[in-house]
């Protein structure tokens, strides 16, 4: 009987924690910062420390506890479903130096997307390598994105450019940045809302750039 009660208690505790953290990541990724992580405040548990949110944004990114991979924070960009809609970019970044002598350089992060915008038939063409981020072309539809840039905002690489993505779960992504050894790169995440036809948002957590030197 005692064993049965213990089982019930454990079952209850497990069920409760599952309900509290419905968006806890299940995909595989590092559960702890890798040994040579170069990102400051990867999991947003120190608020916005280490990250830049440029002023003047109508919808600036905010620290969120609605979804997370590492408890209990992530960074929210864009506008969650049900909130007041605005035509807006919403983005943040960190400049990170990758050692010249690194044997490898791997960027990894999780993103969680929501959108109730269904007007996605005209897919916006993404900013291209060499474009300046300081004069962005306005996307035609709600968009979530992540880019590698230099520290003055020239596009070096597109990591993702999604049209009103609505995964409602965490997606783990990994990119080889070994071509940028010896450089300082800007890792930028954001969401664009066109202000009509539904809201689009993206949460980001556990941004690691692992670059061990030989
Ligand atoms: Ca976190
Ligand atoms: Ca929209």
Note the pLDDT of residue 31: 79
Residues of the chain under the 70 pLDDT cut: 1-27, 120-123
- Cα(76) to ligand 1 centroid in Å equals 11
Decide: residue 146, CB within 10 A, 0-12 exposed, 13-18 middle, 19+ buried.
buried
Give the DSSP per-residue string, 112-136: EEEE-----SSPPPPP-TT-BTTSP
Predicted local confidence at residue 121, as pLDDT: 63
Give pLDDT, residue 120: 63
For residue 177, how far is its CA from the centre of ligand 1 (angstroms)? 23
Run of H or E including 3: helix 2-20
State the ligand closest to the CA atom of 206.
1
Q: How far is the CA of 85 from the centre of ligand 1 (A)?
A: 26
What is the structure's pLDDT at 135?
79
42 C-alpha to center of ligand 1: Å?
7
- pLDDT value at residue 40: 98
Domains and CATH numbers, the chain: 2-210 (2.60.120.260)
The confidence score (pLDDT) of residue 27 equals 58
């Amino acid at each position: 009987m005692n064993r049965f009660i213990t089982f019930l208690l454990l079952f209850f505790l497990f069920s409760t924690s599952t309900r509290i953290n419905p968006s806890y990541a299940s995909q595989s990724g590092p559960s702890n910062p890798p040994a040579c992580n170069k990102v400051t405040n990867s999991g947003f548990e120190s608020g916005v420390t280490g990250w830049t949110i440029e002023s003047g944004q109508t919808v600036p990114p905010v620290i969120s506890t609605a979804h997370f991979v590492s408890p209990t924070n992530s960074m929210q960009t864009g506008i969650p479903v049900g909130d007041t809609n605005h035509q807006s970019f919403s983005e943040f970044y960190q400049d990170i130096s990758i050692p010249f002598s690194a044997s490898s350089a791997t960027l990894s992060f999780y993103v969680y997307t929501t959108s109730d915008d269904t007007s996605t038939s005209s897919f916006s063409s993404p900013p291209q390598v060499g474009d300046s981020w300081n004069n962005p072309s306005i996307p035609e539809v709600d968009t979530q994105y992540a880019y590698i840039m230099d520290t003055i905002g020239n596009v070096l690489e597109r990591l993702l450019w999604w049209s009103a993505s609505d995964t409602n779960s965490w997606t783990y992504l990994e990119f080889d940045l070994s071509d940028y050894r010896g450089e300082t790169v800007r890792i930028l995440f954001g969401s664009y809302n066109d202000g009509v036809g539904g809201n689009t948002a993206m949460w980001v957590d556990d941004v690691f750039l692992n670059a061990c030197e030989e």
